[in-house]
Structures are given as structure tokens and as C-alpha cells.
Chain A
Amino acid sequence: MSADSKFSTGRALLAVFGAGLVFGAGLALSGMTHPEKVLDFLDLAGPWDPSLLFVLAGATGVASIAFPLILRLTTPLLAHHFDLPDATAGIDRRLAIGAVLFGLGWGVSGYCPGPAIALLAALPDSGREALIFLPSMLAGLWLSRLPARVSRRQTARHGMPNAELGTPSLDRV
């Protein structure tokens, strides 16, 4: 990846920034960066707010149409290859336990990772929750990866040619 010449032109990074910009604007417009609105959706026993379903329908709708078309290309526009999670990978216990733990946490506060990062855009009014929730989430995200990082380094030290290819499974979806 480091020898990716198209990538190093800066155009790719600008495109990535633009993707984040549109994504973040969408999060804010959708109302999902208001955790109490998310909880009003998750809480079926209260005055239910189904807005989140519309967010999911819009986002998944666009992506469901776009992804298959995009993946007909042999490469992305500004990088040498697609680097996507394997959609056909098997289901394992870690996936199920992880999703359940995430759901528990989501239902307590109303934050999932995207809106939690977007808290940084609402400082200082979001300060209290940004100061408490964000470090906790980062601790959960990063501490859980420490063992994987150690074994990754050991793999790299033993000079396996696929060490770089082996890591992304932990890095994404």
C-alpha cells in the first residue's frame, strides 16, 4: 500500500476527505447525532420516533444501488485496488457477541461511533458527553486491539509476505 503512486498524489486523500464531509453532513442532517433522538427510536415503549428507519433506508438504499455498480470496475478511481471486507466470510461467535455488546451500549447512551466522533463538531456545547463518552469508546476500541497488534508484529517479524494483507480483517467491518 505504501508504494501506491496514485494514492500519494493527494487527489485520493482529497477525495477521501470529501467522502467524510458528505458522510458527516448526512449524519448531522439526519438528526442521528442527537442521541436522545436515537433513543426515541430505540425506545419502543415511549412516543416512538421512526426517523432512524428513514436514515437507514436512505443510506442503505443508495449504497445498495451504488456498490454493485462500483464493484464492476476493476479498480477504484484513485487507488490501485478495492480493499473491502469479505462479504462471504463466515459467521463466528466474536461477530455475534460483539454486535450484542455494541447494541447494549448503543441502547444506553444513544451513541454509535459516527455520531460520537461528530461530537467534536459541536464543542463546547457537547463538551460533557464528548469528554466522557469519547475516551471510553476509544478505550474500548483501542484496548481490545492490543493483543492483535502484538501478534501482528510477531507475524511481521517472521517475515511472512502476507503480514500486510492479513491485518485488514481486524481493521474494518
Chain B
Amino acid sequence: MSSFTPISALLGGLLIGTGASWLVLSFGRIAGISGIVGALPSSRGNEFAWRALFLLGLVAGAGLLYRYGAPFGVSAPISRSGFPAWELIVSGLLVGYGTALGKGCTSGHGVCGLANRSPRSLLATTLFFGTGLLTASVLRHWLEVWR
């Protein structure tokens, strides 16, 4: 299906780490996407503004690459027509509820938390990578729910 792209993956990762580091350096906050999105509705004033602007920046940054990134091998994601809607719904609820309960996702625990040498984040990252690997492998092959 998709192929191994080590260079763009590494460069993209460096940018992600740079954006996260710049947020801490400039503003003193952690670039944890689930936390930023999760706190958005209950935030007011500047607390709302910084979260909204970070997310706007994220969408704009991705959009720029989707539009002009073809020379670097970037393409915009296109919806998978055969992917069952109910799986997207169940997955969305699990991702939302799980990251709220565990207070972090791939960015907050996986990138920032590990960088901050947080044992909590190391445990969370190990657990969501472990269950993610297991779930994808089982669903795609042993159960053949979707390939």
C-alpha cells in the first residue's frame, strides 16, 4: 500500500519537534493536541485564543504542505471510500475518550512527555503503541474486518 519514506518522515518529525519546542520556548505550554482541543470549549479569553490559534496554525501548516508539497512527496489524504463508517465512529469515540482520560495522545505523551522524561508519558506511550499495533494487526489480518 504505502511505502517506506524515511527522509520525509524524519524531516517531518524534526518539524513536529521544532513546533512543539517553539511553543514551550515562546509560550511555556505543551503541544498536546488532545489537551488543546479538549480544553477549547471550557476556555475563555486568552486561554481560548492560544489554543484556537495553535490549531488554526496546525491546519494552515498542513494545508500549505498539501498545496505546495508535491515536490517533497506530500499529498493530501483522501477519504477511504470502503472504510466502514461505524468503525470511524467507534474509533473516534475511543480516541477522544481515551486521550481525555489518559490526558494525552501521540503528541503530548509520545513527543513532549518522552522529551520531558515523564514516567507517566513513557507508560502511556508504551500502552497506546502496544494496543495500537495489536489492534491494527488483528483487525487487518486475523479478523479481516478491513484491509
Q: Is the CB of A66 within 8 A of B106?
A: no
Does A155 lie at the interface of the complex (its beta carbon under 8 Å from any beta carbon of B)?
no
> Which residues of B are interface residues toward A (Cβ below 8 A)?
1-6, 8-39, 41-43, 45-47, 49-50, 53-66, 69, 72, 74-81, 83, 85, 87-121, 123-125, 127-137, 139-141
Known contacts A76-B28, A99-B128; A140 and B113 CB within 8 A of each other = no
B76 touches A136 (CB 8 A): no
Chain B residues with CB below 8 A from A83, complex form: 28-29
With a CB–CB cut-off of 8 A, which chain A residues contact B103?
A: 85, 94-95, 98, 169-170, 172-173
- Residue of B3, B18, B64, B74 contacting most chain A CB atoms (<10 Å): B18
Binding site secondary structure of chain B: helix
For chain A, which range describes its interface: under 10, 10 to 19, 20 to 34, or 35 or more residues? 35 or more
Task: Find chain A residues with CB under 8 A from B34 CB.
Answer: 113, 141
Alpha-carbon distance A44/B77, docked complex (angstroms): 22
Which residues of chain A come closer than 8 Å to B27, judged between CB atoms? Answer: 12, 15-16, 19, 76-79
Per the bound structure, the CA–CA distance linking A84 and B38 in Å amounts to 16
Q: Is the CB of B136 within 8 A of A125?
A: no
The A interface, classified by DSSP as helix, strand, loop or mixed, is helix
Assuming A103-B131, A113-B34, A137-B92, is B61 touching A120 (CB within 8 A)?
no
B57 near A54 (CB under 8 angstroms)?
no
* A61 close to chain B: CB less than 8 A: yes
Evaluate whether A111 and B127 lie within 8 angstroms (CB atoms) in the complex, with A31-B5, A51-B6, A129-B80 already known: no
Most B C-beta atoms less than 10 A away, residue of A24, A91, A144: A24
User: In the complex, what distance in Å separates the CA atom of A50 from the CA atom of B54?
Assistant: 29
> Which single residue of chain B is at the shortest CB-CB distance from A135?
B92
Say whether B15 contacts A29, CB under 8 Å: yes
Output the residue of B3, B54, B56 with the most chain A CB within 10 A: B54
Whole-angstrom distance from the CB of B41 to the nearest CB of chain A? 6
> Do A27 and B50 contact each other (CB < 8 Å), given the known contacts A49-B2, A62-B14?
no
Report chain B residues within 8 Å CB of A101. Answer: 94, 97-98, 101-102
